């Protein structure tokens, strides 16, 4: 008999909580995958600019993590995801998306090749059931390790400098999507040059028992007065991930497993992730449906939209012209402080497989509780809104 | 002598709902009730001084919010307080806690199986697909698929449209779902025995089927398709007991000028020239009306209060063969205090919800085996709620009322029910509870023991079947109660049916009553006062 769940602790604390909770100035918390995580610690603006101008830390422990091992591990993963991952080298990370048999997107995530330790799959949502079902016939072992690995995302222009000061010697040589292992304060810790911010940044992975040691080693750089480090919450992360062009399953689109209404689920093509689908590899789940779809005009797309003016297009309907035909809606939107523009992820219909010639948003906004409406022109961006050279420069600039 | 526009036979919640919509449209309506109290199976009675029992139905979820709104039931005294979570106790001293907090529920399922916790996401979404599909048809008259009338064709088209809005794979799954057993269905999602046992309970409640019987997967849906304030699948307590449901509808009915006579048992629906003309009461009194609406179950309606000479032979045969098997018992218990459930530890929130003791599918199936042999289950499936933990109206301060629904209990115990056997049945249930609650027996003040026999005798439900007819595919939609009679119109003119024997079936839903009212008002050329479905998409 295993110990019972403590019903008084509805949301659990991450291994970093005892360090991060005192740093919260506003006590604004949110649930994320069963954990209590901060929405904001200080002000949104301060946290946003920590990512874009100095160094931020974000507690990403609640992210779903699975360890896949065994002789068929890579064959299994290659069969499950739409991208060809058969050549993923030890010490490298790749972005992947996976579908059900109907070619509809179940989730996205990253695969880490951990060498002799197998592979780690990070995902946005619960995937154990799907992984187990998909692994039938493959000689693999699959373990959920979400709660067995603590993870801290260290992002921003000074993140490399901060981590070097904290004892991660040699980190400057780490290239984007690479993995390096360190021993810091006697603790084994893995660092990947990955992130959800579109900026220079790293993700630091460790045993939860040593999370505090590593956190202290990093935060001590601030205490020593060298560089500022700010904890950031989910709200700032939302801003930077939209600027960086990352999508969030469940927020930007309904995942195939959770969709109730037919037509709500989306294929990778419809999400703008066609580049992550490879037909030059052996059979993968959803391939037949995706091949069929690839031959047909695309019906809709999740797009990155820049919206003119400064009125926030929250939940706005989108039209193919001012007062034109309704073609979609805004899913999420933010004001980009660095681009001085409203940015959004939107789901829009394509007529005859073509992008609409014009897209207009009807925006309802209020000033001092009085509501008004306005039309604003929108532009699709195929590239990330924000992708500075420092994001991939190796070695990164030192500060 | 007064000639009413309509007489409704039976003051259960569907009869009252039907009558209220008719009265709201301006009809002169009389509701006749055999008992001295109204409510049918939605009653709250004080059998022990200071305690009120929801003697029959005990929780509320299926009642259509559209009806609630249209009849202004909130202002007429109905308040439905959501119930929270539930628990299945295991024989090894552990339990599965179905916490209402999603993060906690996830962790608790994962405690039993990590994979099942993730599979629950798929299970919930899949169940919601079928709920959503079926919910759209609750407040609609089933189309006759063999009819070429424009309305039938259009309604059937909308049924097909909803069906074909499903994706290809969903269509396959939907058909499988409607014909599978709950055990087989749950095997496709879960590996943990206690998780499967916990989620299967709702699929056998009220049926003469076991967890391995085909068709039980649908019964789960029937228990999951309701909602409390939009939380689909949630259940709630009617403040003051289920009598508040019928009380509020009766009050709304009266506010529209309706009249209720209790202690007035109908002996016969009078038919003349293939038209219903009124009713004759048990005391010989004849009351005439332009329309007669039966809220009795299909068997009772056609075989007890109608003259077979007035009916088509085919219908009589159908009524005789109508599946309406009693399989449920009930204990309503007055307690001197809150019983302890040591397995849960102190102050656990799990006692606030549904409590069960069947931790394997096999035990559930064995419980069914007993019923097939005309025995009450030696190890029954129970659904226990103790509303008085947060509902102050049903017991004195500090005291509690426990409602124990019991599956299975036969209509006729081997050799017939006797008082002794009834007490032995009650003792079986009490002993089972005491296995998990050591101080339970000491707290027992009073227990009302109800077998299908009592349910039939008091409420008038044939064989004590709580759904007024099995919820199997052959008796659902346009086949409920019988093919050709699913549109609430009887075999003779001016005669209607509004009970749960009709679409969309059993449970405290109000939908059959409202749907029948719509048909009657259409025939009368009156404005439709019944509400439209709130709609989903």
Residues A283 and A329: beta-carbon distance below 8 Å = no
CB-nearest partner of B121 from A1, A102, A258: A258
Tell me whether residues B107 and A5 touch, CB distance under 8 A: yes
Whether residues A39 and A179 fall in one domain: yes
pLDDT tens across A294-319, in order?
999 999 999 999 999 999 999 999 99
Cβ neighbours of A5 in B, within 8 Å: 97, 99, 104, 107-108, 111
Flag if A1 and B92 touch (Cβ within 8 Å). Answer: yes
- Say which of A101, A129, A261 has its CB closest to residue B537: A261
pLDDT of residue B446: 97
pLDDT of residue B224 exceeding 60, the answer is yes
Place of tokens 């946290």: A47
User: What CA–CA distance (Å, rounded) separates B184 from A391?
Assistant: 52
Best mutation target among B113, B122, B170 (most A Cβ atoms within 10 Å) is B122
Q: Among all residues of chain A, which has the CA nearest to that of B124? A: A258
Q: How many CB pairs under 8 A join A and B?
A: 72
B462 φ, ψ (degrees, to nearest 5): -55, 130
The alpha carbon of residue B323 and the mean position of all alpha carbons in its chain are separated, in whole angstroms, by 16
Of all helices (H) and strands (E), which one includes residue B431?
helix B419-436
The answer on pLDDT for A272 being more than 50 is yes
Q: pLDDT, tens digit, for every residue of B6-59? A: 999 999 999 999 999 999 999 999 999 999 999 999 999 999 999 999 999 999
Angle of the B193-200 helix axis to the B102-112 helix axis, nearest 10: 130
Res A288: pLDDT: 97
Pairwise CB contact (< 8 Å): A258 & B125: yes
Examine residue A271 and state whether it is found in any structural domain, yes or no.
no
Claim to verify: residue A156 and residue A52 sit in the same structural domain: yes
Rg (CA), chain B: 22
A374: domain CATH number is 2.40.30.110
More confident residue, B232 or B287: B287
**Which of B85, B107, B162 is the best mutation test for A, with the most CBs of A within 10 A?**
B107
- Mean pLDDT over the full length of chain B: 95
**pLDDT over 70 at B477, yes or no:** yes
Number of domains observed in the structure of chain A:
2
Predicted local confidence at residue A2, as pLDDT: 46
- Does residue B315 register a pLDDT over 70? yes
Q: Average the pLDDT over each of A311-320, A323-332, B77-86, B485-494 and give the range with the smallest value.
A: B77-86
Which residue in the set A11, A126, A132 is minimally distant from B121, CB to CB?
Answer: A126
Proportion of chain B above pLDDT 70, given as a percent: 100
Smallest Cα–Cα separation from B430: which of B417, B416, B449?
B449
CA dist B338 and B233 (Å) reads 27
Q: Which two tokens stand for residue A10?
A: 């509805």
| Interface contact flag, A262 B167, Cβ < 8 Å | yes
What would the mean pLDDT of B434-439 be, rounded to a whole number?
Answer: 98
Nearest to A2 among B111, B119, B345 (CB): B111
Question: Quick check: A289 contacting B, CB < 8 Å?
Answer: no
Using CA coordinates, name the residue in chain B closest to A32. B103
Distance (Å) from the alpha carbon of B406 to chain A's nearest alpha carbon: 28
Q: Which domain holds residue A349?
A: 297-381
Residue with tokens 């009679």: B485
Q: Is A4 on the interface with B (CB under 8 A)?
A: yes
What's the CA gap between B176 and B217, in Å, rounded? Answer: 9
Q: pTM for this structure? A: 0.94
Distance from CA of A5 to the nearest CA of B (A): 6
Q: Are residues A26 and A160 in the same domain?
A: yes
Chain B residues whose CB is inside 8 A of the A99 CB are none
CB contact under 8 A, A129 and B119: yes
Looking up residue A37, the CATH number of its domain turns out to be 3.30.1360.120
Domain identity same for A372 and A306 = yes
The answer as to whether A106 is a domain residue is no
- Which residues in chain B have Cβ-Cβ distances shorter than 8 Å to A34? 103, 106-107
Q: Which residues of B touch A125 (CB under 8 A)?
A: 121
Q: Which is it for the CA torsion B505, B511, B513, B518, positive or negative? A: negative
Task: Tell me how far the alpha carbon of residue B370 is from its chain's centroid.
Answer: 23
Report the residue of A30, A260, A289 to disrupt the B interface, i.e. the one with the largest count of B CBs within 10 Å: A260
Dist CA B196 CA B186 (whole Å):
6
In this predicted structure, the answer to whether residue B464 has a pLDDT above a threshold of 50 is yes
B119-131 pLDDT tens trace: 999 999 999 988 8
In degrees and rounded to multiples of 5, residue B423 shows phi and psi of -65, -40
Which of A2, A6, A7, A106 is best to mutate for the B interface (most B CBs within 10 A)? A7
- DSSP-derived secondary structure letter, A5: P
Q: How far, in Å, CA of B355 to CA of B194, rounded?
A: 13
> In whole angstroms, what is the distance from residue B166 CA to residue B188 CA?
20
> Does residue A7 sit at the B interface (CB-CB below 8 Å)?
yes
Cβ pair A257:B99 closer than 8 A: no
For residue A3, pLDDT beyond 70:
no
d(CA A345, CA A334): 9
Rounded distance between C-alpha atoms, residue A149 and residue A153, angstroms:
13
Q: From chain B, which residues contact A within 8 Å (Cβ)? A: 92-95, 97, 99, 101, 103-104, 106-108, 111, 114-119, 121-122, 125, 128-129, 132, 165-170, 345, 348-350, 537
Residue B166: closest CA among chain A residues belongs to which residue? A262
Q: Look-up: residue for tokens 């948003």?
A: A361
Give, as one character, the DSSP assignment of residue A305: E
pLDDT in tens, A101-156: 999 999 999 999 999 999 999 999 999 999 999 999 999 999 999 999 999 999 99
Using a CB-CB cut-off of 8 Å, the residues of chain A touching B93 are: 1
d(CA B510, CA A279): 55
- Whether residue A41 is found in the same domain as residue A188: yes
Q: Of A106, A44, A69, which Cα lies nearest the Cα of A285?
A: A106
Q: String of b and e for B442-481 (b: at least 16 CB within 10 Å)? A: ebbbbbbbbbbbbbbebbbbbbbbbbbbbbbeebbbbbbb
Residue A57 near residue A222 (C-beta atoms within 8 A): no
- The reply to whether A130 touches chain B by the CB within 8 Å rule is yes
The pLDDT assigned to B235 comes to: 87
Cβ contact (<8 Å) for B111 and A257? Answer: no
Same domain, yes or no, for A159 and A231? yes
Interchain pair A34, B170: CB under 8 A: no
Answer whether A136 touches B (CB < 8 Å). no
Which among B96, B102, B112, B118 is the top mutation candidate for probing chain A, defined by the most A β-carbons within 10 Å of its own β-carbon?
A: B118
Ramachandran quadrant class, A396 (left: phi over 0; alpha: psi -120 to 50; beta: rest): beta
Q: Which CATH architecture has domain B3-45+57-80+239-322+468-524?
A: 3-Layer(bba) Sandwich (3.50)
- A208 & A314 share domain: no
A343 in a domain, yes or no? yes
Average pLDDT score over chain A: 96
Q: How does residue B133 score in pLDDT terms, banded at 50, 70 and 90?
A: confident
Answer yes or no: is A320 within a domain.
Answer: yes
A392 located within any domain: no
CATH of domain B84-105+328-407+414-450: 3.30.9
Mark yes or no for CB contact A260/B345 under 8 Å.
no
E strands in chain A: 28-32, 35-40, 56-59, 64-69, 93-99, 105-113, 119-123, 141-144, 150-155, 179-184, 187-192, 201-206, 230-231, 300-307, 317-319, 326-336, 341-349, 359-367, 370-381
How far is the CA of B293 from the CAs of A359, B236, B272, B467, B477, in angstroms? 57, 30, 16, 19, 20
DSSP sequence for A148-186? G-EEEEEESTTHHHHHHHTT-TTGGGPPTTBEEEEEETT
In a domain, A279, yes or no: no
Of B125, B165, B169, the CB nearest to A102: B169
pLDDT value of position B537: 66
> Tokens standing for B8?
């409704």
Residue A230 lies in a domain: yes
| Inside any domain, residue A196 | yes
Distance CA A25, CA A27 (A): 6
CA distance A6 to chain B (A): 8
Sorting pLDDT into bands at 50, 70 and 90, what band is A54? very high
B61 pLDDT band, cuts 50/70/90, is confident
- Tell me how far CA of residue B139 lies from CA of A161, A184, A222, B6, B244, in angstroms: 66, 66, 64, 21, 22
Residue A250 forms contact with B (CB below 8 Å): no
Q: Report yes or no: B531 and B66 within 8 Å, Cβ to Cβ.
A: yes
> Which residue of chain B has the CA closest to A146?
B114
Q: Are residues A224 and A153 in the same domain?
A: yes
Give the H/E segment covering residue B122: helix B114-135
Across the interface, whether the CB atoms of B93 and A1 are under 8 A apart is answered yes
Using DSSP's 3-state secondary structure scheme, residue B346 falls into: coil
- Cα distance from B194 to chain A (closest Cα, Å)? 13
Closest chain B residue to A132, measured at CA: B115
Helix (H/G/I), strand (E/B), else coil: A8: coil
Q: Can you give the residue ranges of every domain in chain B?
A: 3-45+57-80+239-322+468-524, 84-105+328-407+414-450, 114-230
Q: Using CA coordinates, name the residue in chain A closest to B90.
A: A1
End-to-end CA distance of chain A: 54
In chain A, what residues touch B129 (CB-CB under 8 Å)? 260
Q: What is the pLDDT of residues A12-52, one digit of tens each?
A: 999 999 999 999 999 999 999 999 999 999 999 999 999 99
Q: Do B104 and A132 count as a contact with CB atoms less than 8 A apart? A: no
């Amino acid at each position: 008999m295993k110990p019972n769940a403590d019903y008084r602790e509805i949301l659990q604390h991450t291994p970093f909580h005892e360090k991060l909770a005192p740093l919260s100035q506003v006590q604004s918390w949110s649930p994320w995958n069963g954990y209590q995580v901060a929405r904001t610690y200080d002000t949104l603006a301060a946290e946003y600019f920590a990512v874009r101008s100095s160094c931020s830390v974000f507690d990403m422990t609640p992210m779903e993590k699975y360890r896949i091992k065994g002789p068929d591990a890579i064959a299994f993963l290659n069969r499950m995801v739409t991208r060809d991952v058969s050549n993923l080298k030890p010490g490298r990370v790749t972005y992947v998306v996976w579908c059900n048999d109907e070619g509809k997107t179940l989730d996205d995530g990253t695969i880490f090749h951990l060498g002799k330790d197998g592979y780690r799959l990070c995902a946005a949502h619960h995937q154990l059931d799907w992984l187990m079902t998909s692994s039938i016939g493959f000689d693999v072992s699959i373990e959920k390790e979400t709660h067995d690995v603590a993870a801290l995302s260290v992002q921003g222009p000074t993140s490399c400098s901060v981590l070097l000061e904290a004892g991660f010697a040699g980190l400057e040589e780490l290239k984007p999507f690479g993995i390096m292992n360190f021993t810091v304060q006697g603790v084994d810790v893995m660092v990947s040059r990955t992130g959800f911010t579109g900026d220079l940044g790293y993700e630091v992975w460790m045993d939860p028992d040593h999370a505090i040691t590593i956190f202290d080693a990093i935060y001590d750089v601030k205490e020593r007065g060298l560089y500022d480090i700010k904890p950031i919450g989910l709200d700032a992360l939302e801003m930077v991930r939209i600027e960086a062009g990352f999508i969030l399953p469940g927020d930007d689109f309904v995942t195939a497993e959770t969709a109730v209404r037919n037509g709500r689920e989306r294929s990778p093509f419809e999400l703008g992730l066609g580049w992550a689908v490879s037909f030059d590899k052996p059979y993968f789940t959803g391939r037949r449906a995706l091949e069929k779809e690839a031959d047909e005009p695309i019906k809709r797309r999740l797009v990155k939209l820049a919206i003119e003016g400064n009125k926030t297009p929250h939940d706005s309907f989108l039209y193919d012209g001012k007062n034109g035909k309704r073609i979609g809606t805004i899913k999420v939107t933010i004001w980009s402080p660095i681009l001085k523009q409203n940015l959004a992820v939107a789901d829009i219909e394509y007529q005859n497989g073509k992008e609409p010639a014009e897209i207009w948003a009807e925006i309802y906004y209020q000033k001092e509780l009085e509501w008004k409406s306005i039309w604003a022109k929108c532009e699709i961006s195929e590239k990330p809104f924000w992708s500075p050279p420092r994001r991939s420069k190796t070695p990164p600039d030192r500060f | 002598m007064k000639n009413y526009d309509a007489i409704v036979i039976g003051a259960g919640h569907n009869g009252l709902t039907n009558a209220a919509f008719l009265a709201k449209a301006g009809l002169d309506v009389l509701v006749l009730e055999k008992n001295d109290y109204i409510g049918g199976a939605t009653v709250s009675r004080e059998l022990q001084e200071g305690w009120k029992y929801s003697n029959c139905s005990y929780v509320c979820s299926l009642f259509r919010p559209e009806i609630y709104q249209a009849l202004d039931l909130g202002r007429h005294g109905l308040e439905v307080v959501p119930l929270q979570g539930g628990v299945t106790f295991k024989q090894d001293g552990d339990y599965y806690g179905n916490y209402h907090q999603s993060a906690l529920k996830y962790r608790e399922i994962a405690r039993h199986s990590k994979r099942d916790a993730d599979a629950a996401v798929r299970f919930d979404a899949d169940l919601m697909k079928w709920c959503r599909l079926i919910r759209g048809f609750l407040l609609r008259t089933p189309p006759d698929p063999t009819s070429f009338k424009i309305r039938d064709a259009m309604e059937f088209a909308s049924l097909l449209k909803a069906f074909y809005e499903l994706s290809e794979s969903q269509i396959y799954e939907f058909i499988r779902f409607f014909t599978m057993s709950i055990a087989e269905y749950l095997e496709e999602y879960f590996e943990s025995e206690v998780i499967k046992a916990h989620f299967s309970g709702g699929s056998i409640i009220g049926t003469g089927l076991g967890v391995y019987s085909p068709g039980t997967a649908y019964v789960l849906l029937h228990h999951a398709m309701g909602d409390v304030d939009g939380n689909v699948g949630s259940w709630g307590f009617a403040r003051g007991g289920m009598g508040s449901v019928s009380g509020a509808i009766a009050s709304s009915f009266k506010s529209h000028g309706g009249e209720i006579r209790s202690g007035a048992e109908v002996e016969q629906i009078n038919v003349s020239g293939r038209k219903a003309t009124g009713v004759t009461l048990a005391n010989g009194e004849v009351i005439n009306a332009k329309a007669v609406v039966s809220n009795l179950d299909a068997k009772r309606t056609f075989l007890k209060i109608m003259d077979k000479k007035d009916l088509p032979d085919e219908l009589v045969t159908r009524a005789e063969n109508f599946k309406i098997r009693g399989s449920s018992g009930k204990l309503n218990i007055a307690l001197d205090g809150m019983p302890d459930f040591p397995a849960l530890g102190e102050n656990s929130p799990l006692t606030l919800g549904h409590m069960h003791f069947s931790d394997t599918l096999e035990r559930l199936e064995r419980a069914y085996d007993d019923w097939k042999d005309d025995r009450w289950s030696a190890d029954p499936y129970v659904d226990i709620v103790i509303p008085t933990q947060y509902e102050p109206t049903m017991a004195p301060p500090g005291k509690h009322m426990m409602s124990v629904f019991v599956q299975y209990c036969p209509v006729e115990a081997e050799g017939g029910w006797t008082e002794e056997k009834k007490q032995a049945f009650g003792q079986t249930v009490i002993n089972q509870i005491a296995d998990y609650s050591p101080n339970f027996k000491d707290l027992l003040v009073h227990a009302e023991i109800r077998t299908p026999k009592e349910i039939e005798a008091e409420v008038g439900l044939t064989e004590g079947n709580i759904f007024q007819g099995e919820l199997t595919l052959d008796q659902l939609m346009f086949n409920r109660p019988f093919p050709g009679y699913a549109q609430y119109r009887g075999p003779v003119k001016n005669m209607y049916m509004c009970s749960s024997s009709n679409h969309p079936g059993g449970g405290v839903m109000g939908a059959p009553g409202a749907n029948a009212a719509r048909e009657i008002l259409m025939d009368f050329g009156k404005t439709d006062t019944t509400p439209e479905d709130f709609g989903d998409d």
